[in-house]
C-alpha cells in the first residue's frame, strides 16, 4: 500500500518566483491594473502551482468516484440506493449532466467504482471496489482505517494514471446516494460545529426527513466517537469510500503540481479532509461553485476559497467544477494571449 506520509511530504508551497513573474506580467497587459479581478488571481495562483509564469491548460479531466452508503437504511436520502449503480451506467453511456458539461469543457470523464453495492461491468469503468458500500455509520464505523487508506490509495492511482497520459487541470466528482450525510458528518467533526449547521436537503428531503437526517448524523458521531483531530479517523468512521478516493485524487494532484477544481459540498468535504491532513494543499485548490447544500460555505471559508460560480447547483458529479473550467481557461488565456502596453503601443497610466 502507498505511504500517506510520503505523499504528503511531496506537497510543497507554491513557487514564489513564478508568482512574481505572473504578477509582473499582469501589470503590463493592456488593461487597468486589477481590472480582470479574480481572473488575474487565478492566473497568478496557477503560475505558482505549475512553476510556470505562463501556465497553459491543454488536458482536463473530471474524476467521478462512485460508492454506496450503509446509512441509507436510515432514510436519509430522497432516492433509493439503487440509483448509485444506475447513474454509474448513465455516466458510462454519456447521458448524465456531467457528461454533457464535460463534453462542452473538453474534459475527459473517468468513472471509478470504488464501492458501489452492485456488480457493475463496463469496459470504460475503473473497477476498484474496496467494499460493497460502507457500513451503516449510525450503528458502526462506516469503514476501517485500512479501507479508508486503501480508498485514498485508489484516488492516488487514478490521478497518477491520468497524469501519465497528460493532465493540466482536474475536477472532483462523485456519485453515491446518501453521501451528503457522510459529507455533513465529516464537516461537523472537522469544523467542530453542530450537525444541524452543516446538514441540508441533499437530493430534496422534506422537513421531517431533514430532522431525522440531523439526528442520524448526531447518532453516528456519538456512536463512533471519531477523534476530530485525526482526519483519517473521521473519514473512516463517518465518511464514505468515494470521499476517501477524492482525498487521494486531491493530494496526488497537489503533489504533482496539478491544480484541482473542487465541485460542491461532497467534493469539498474531501478537500477538507485533505486540508486537515496537509494544510498546504489549499494553495492547489479552486472552488468551482457554491452549492445550495448547507455546510458548503463553511468548508470554503475554512479553506480560504471563494467560489467561482453561484448557480444554485445541488447536483454533484463534478458539474459545477467542470463549468468553472471555462472561467479558469479564460483567466489563463487572457494572461497568455493579451498584448502588453509596449507590444500594442497603448499608453500606460499617466
Ligand X SMILES: Cc1cc2ncn([C@H]3O[C@H](COP(=O)(O)O)[C@@H](O)[C@H]3O)c2cc1C
| Catalytic sites, residue numbers | 317
- Cα separation, 242 vs 174, whole angstroms: 6
Phi, psi of 171 (to 5 degrees): -110, 150
Which of ligand NIO, ligand X, none is residue 246 near (CB under 5 to 8 Å by kind)? none
Query: Which residue blocks in the chain are alpha helix, DSSP H?
Result: 4-9, 16-28, 37-50, 83-93, 97-105, 145-165, 179-191, 207-224, 231-238, 241-255, 265-277, 296-303, 319-337, 341-344
Does position 136 bind ligand X by CB under 6 A?
Answer: no
Stretch of 79-87, 99-107, 218-226, 244-252 contacting ligand X, by CB under 6 A: 79-87
**Closest to ligand NIO by CB, 55 or 320:** 320
Provide the binding-site residues for ligand NIO, judged by CB under 6 A.
180, 202-203, 263-266, 291, 293, 296, 314-316
Which of ligand X, ligand NIO, none is residue 291 near (CB under 5 to 8 Å by kind)? ligand NIO
Does position 176 bind ligand X by CB under 6 A?
Answer: yes
Q: Give the shortest CB-299-to-ligand X separation in angstroms.
A: 16
Which of ligand NIO, ligand X, none is residue 74 near (CB under 5 to 8 Å by kind)? none
Q: Binding ligand X by CB under 6 A: which of 316, 322, 323, 332?
A: 316
Query: Is residue 220 within 8 Å of residue 239, measured between CB atoms?
Result: no
Which of ligand NIO, ligand X, none is residue 250 near (CB under 5 to 8 Å by kind)? none
Residues in contact with 55: Cβ distance below 8 Å, sequence separation at least 6, in sequence order = 22, 43, 46, 47, 49, 332, 335, 336
Does position 120 bind ligand X by CB under 6 A?
Answer: no
Does position 212 bind ligand X by CB under 6 A?
Answer: no
Q: Give the shortest CB-335-to-ligand NIO separation in angstroms.
A: 29
Q: Give the shortest CB-319-to-ligand X separation in angstroms.
A: 8
**Closest to ligand NIO by CB, 72 or 150:** 72
Which of ligand NIO, ligand X, none is residue 87 near (CB under 5 to 8 Å by kind)? ligand X
Query: How far from each other are the two terminal CA atoms of the chain, in whole angstroms?
Result: 61
CA 195 from centroid of its chain's CA atoms: 21
Does position 180 bind ligand X by CB under 6 A?
Answer: yes
Query: Is residue 54 within 8 Å of residue 336, measured between CB atoms?
Result: yes
Phi, psi of 98 (to 5 degrees): -65, -35
Residue 82: HSE in the Cβ half-sphere, 13 Å Cα cutoff: 1
Residues in contact with 183: Cβ distance below 8 Å, sequence separation at least 6, in sequence order = 240, 243, 265, 266, 268, 269, 293, 295
**Closest to ligand NIO by CB, 22 or 205:** 205
**Closest to ligand X by CB, 43 or 105:** 105
Q: Binding ligand X by CB under 6 A: which of 40, 117, 174, 233?
A: 174
Does position 320 bind ligand X by CB under 6 A?
Answer: no
Query: Is residue 90 within 8 Å of residue 40, measured between CB atoms?
Result: no
309, with CB counted inside 10 A (0-12, 13-18, 19+), is middle
Does position 294 bind ligand X by CB under 6 A?
Answer: no
For residue 277 the three cell numbers come to 491532513
Whose grid coordinates read 494553495?
Answer: 283
Residue nearest to ligand X (CB): 202
Size of interface with ligand X, in residues (CB under 6 A): 18
**Closest to ligand NIO by CB, 163 or 269:** 269
Q: Give the shortest CB-316-to-ligand NIO separation in angstroms.
A: 3
Q: Binding ligand X by CB under 6 A: which of 77, 99, 134, 136?
A: 77
Strand 107-115's sheet: what is its strand order?
A: 126-127, 107-115, 60-67, 169-175, 260-262, 285-287
Q: In the complex, which residues of this chain contact ligand X (CB under 6 A)?
A: 77-79, 83, 87, 174-181, 202-203, 315-317
Amino acid at each position: 500500500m502507498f505511504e500517506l506520509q510520503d505523499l504528503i511530504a511531496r506537497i510543497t508551497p507554491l513557487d514564489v518566483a513564478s508568482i512574481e513573474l505572473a504578477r509582473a506580467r499582469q501589470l503590463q497587459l493592456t488593461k487597468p491594473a486589477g481590472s480582470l479581478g479574480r481572473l488575474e488571481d487565478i492566473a497568478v495562483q496557477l503560475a505558482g502551482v505549475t512553476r510556470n509564469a505562463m501556465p497553459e491548460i491543454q488536458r482536463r479531466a473530471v474524476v467521478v468516484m462512485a460508492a454506496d452508503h450503509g446509512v441509507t437504511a436510515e432514510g436519509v436520502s430522497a432516492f433509493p440506493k439503487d440509483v448509485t449503480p444506475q447513474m454509474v451506467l448513465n455516466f458510462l453511456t454519456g447521458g448524465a449532466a456531467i457528461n454533457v458539461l464535460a463534453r462542452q469543457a473538453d474534459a475527459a470523464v473517468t468513472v471509478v467504482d470504488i464501492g458501489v453495492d452492485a456488480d457493475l461491468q463496463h469496459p470504460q469503468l475503473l473497477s476498484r471496489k474496496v467494499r460493497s458500500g460502507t457500513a451503516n455509520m449510525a450503528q458502526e464505523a462506516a469503514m476501517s482505517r485500512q479501507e479508508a487508506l486503501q480508498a485514498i490509495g485508489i484516488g492516488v492511482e487514478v490521478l497518477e494514471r491520468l497524469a501519465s497520459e497528460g493532465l493540466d487541470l482536474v475536477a472532483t466528482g462523485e456519485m453515491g446516494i446518501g453521501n451528503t450525510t457522510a459529507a455533513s458528518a465529516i464537516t461537523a467533526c472537522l469544523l467542530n460545529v453542530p450537525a444541524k449547521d452543516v446538514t441540508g436537503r441533499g437530493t430534496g428531503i422534506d422537513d421531517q426527513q431533514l430532522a431525522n437526517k440531523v439526528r442520524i448524523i448526531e447518532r453516528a458521531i456519538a456512536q463512533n466517537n471519531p477523534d476530530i483531530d485525526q482526519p483519517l479517523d473521521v473519514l473512516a468512521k463517518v465518511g464514505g469510500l468515494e470521499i476517501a478516493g477524492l482525498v487521494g485524487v486531491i493530494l496526488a494532484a497537489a503533489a504533482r503540481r496539478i491544480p484541482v477544481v473542487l465541485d460542491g459540498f461532497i467534493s469539498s468535504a474531501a478537500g477538507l479532509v485533505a486540508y486537515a491532513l496537509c494544510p498546504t494543499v489549499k494553495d492547489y485548490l479552486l472552488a468551482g461553485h457554491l452549492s445550495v447544500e448547507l455546510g458548503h460555505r463553511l468548508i470554503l471559508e475554512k479553506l480560504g476559497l471563494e467560489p467561482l460560480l453561484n448557480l444554485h447547483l445541488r447536483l454533484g458529479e463534478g458539474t459545477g467544477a467542470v463549468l468553472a473550467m471555462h472561467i479558469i481557461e479564460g483567466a489563463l488565456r487572457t494572461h497568455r494571449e493579451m498584448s502588453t502596453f509596449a507590444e500594442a503601443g497603448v499608453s500606460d497610466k499617466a
